[in-house]
Amino acid sequence: MKVSPSYVLGSEPDERQRLELQHQLWRPLAQAAWSRAGLKPGAAALDLGCGPGWAARDLAEQVGPSGLVLGLENDLAYLADAKALATAGELAQLSFIRHDLHKAPLALDQAFDLSWCRWVAMFLRDLDPLIDQLELALRPGGVAVFHEYIHWSTFGLHPHGAILQRFGAAVLTSFEASGGDANVNRRLPSLLAARGFAIEALRPLATAGGPGSWVARWLEPFVSIYGRRLQAMGLWSAAEAAEAEAAMATARRDPGSIWVGPTVLEVVARRPAAAT
């Protein structure tokens, strides 16, 4: 099996479309997290691994014209999408820089009040450069907000989804083969605390829903789209993909079927204030 060192989920058009839907569905949870962390108009926010820029755009709208948002992204296709998004929205407070979070942190001109990181740390082989970036970029007393998985294997479809348990196992294998850790939030709070960050909140975000729910709308495309990538990796077969599609079709006809998402943990960590 050969796994590309780039973003394991890819940046093809169907994956970009899936990510946009995923962001739309998760936007209320992200915005609630930012509000709980104290993000206000005029603030400076940093989006780590911003992808095509949808969360960065929402951050820019929340901080307003007097604020500032910077997105860091390594994938050139996503970076182009993000810059086009800022231009189309006439958001002068929003900008993007290419940066690989596997590498040494960037020295930035701005100190940030808040950083946002969602489903990015899970793909990093080494978390030290990410934490180094937080230490360098956040102002003293600034806050880092993460939405990362803590128990990916809660993913499932019940009672019709036995085949999807095999899909989930293949997904985890692909993440591990790329050097990632699907359950990264089992480790991240401890690593942050060791650097002096105060862990202010640990909030589990469990998701479940029936046919047509936002959870179903989130997970069904993932099975179909990432399933094709798993086939290219040799981790999933065409026969298994057909069986999974049939199981999802059966679930759509059963009003009692339940999609359960991988469990996310919201982590809020505050950088130590400057010594007086």
pLDDT band of 15, cuts 50, 70, 90: confident
Token pair 């946002």: residue:
116
Q: What is the pLDDT of residue 1?
A: 36
pLDDT tier at 8 (50, 70, 90 boundaries)? low
The whole model's pTM is what?
0.93
Burial class (CB in 10 A: 0-12, 13-18, 19+), 204: exposed
- Alpha-carbon distance 39 to 276, whole Å? 25
pLDDT classification of 246: cutoffs 50, 70, 90: very high
The three-state (H, E, C) secondary structure of 93-153, written as one string? CEEEEECCCCCCCCCCCCCEEEEEEECCHHHCCCCHHHHHHHHHHEEEEEEEEEEEEEEHH
Alpha-carbon distance 211 to 254, whole Å? 7
Whether residue 197 contacts residue 144, with contact meaning beta carbons closer than 8 Å, is answered with yes
pLDDT per residue as tens digits for the range 116-172: 999 999 999 999 999 999 999 999 999 999 999 999 999 999 999 999 999 999 999
Q: Find the mean pLDDT for residues 257-274.
A: 96
DSSP state of 207: -
DSSP secondary structure code for residue 4 in this structure: -
- Name the band, by pLDDT with cuts 50, 70 and 90, for residue 16: confident
Render pLDDT for 169-198 as a digit per residue (tens, 0 to 9): 999 999 999 999 999 999 999 999 999 999
Amino acid 2: pLDDT: 37
> Which residue is listed with tokens 């929340």?
62
Instruction: List pLDDT tens digits, range 66-123.
Output: 999 999 999 999 999 999 999 998 999 999 999 999 999 999 999 999 999 999 999 9
Given this model, what pLDDT does residue 276 score?
A: 43
Q: Is the pLDDT of residue 274 over 80?
A: no
Task: Name the pLDDT band for 270 (thresholds 50, 70, 90).
Answer: very high
The residue-averaged pLDDT of 233-254 equals 98
Residues 6+ apart with CB under 8 A from 203: 33, 265, 266, 268
Mean residue pLDDT of the chain comes to 93
Query: So what's the pLDDT on residue 13?
Result: 73
Write out the DSSP string of 32-64. HHHHHTT--TT-EEEEET-TTSHHHHHHHHHH-
- For residue 124, how far is the Cα from the chain centroid? 12
The CA distance from 44 to 196, in Å, is 22
d(CA 191, CA 188): 5
Which residues make beta-bridge pairs with 209?
259
pLDDT of residue 4 exceeding 50, the answer is no
Quote the CA–CA distance of 59 and 69 in Å, as a whole number. 7
Domain segments of the chain as ranges:
13-270
Domain spanning 13-270, CATH architecture:
3-Layer(aba) Sandwich (3.40)
Question: Between the CA of residue 32 and those of 39, 71, 124, what are the distances in Å?
Answer: 10, 20, 26
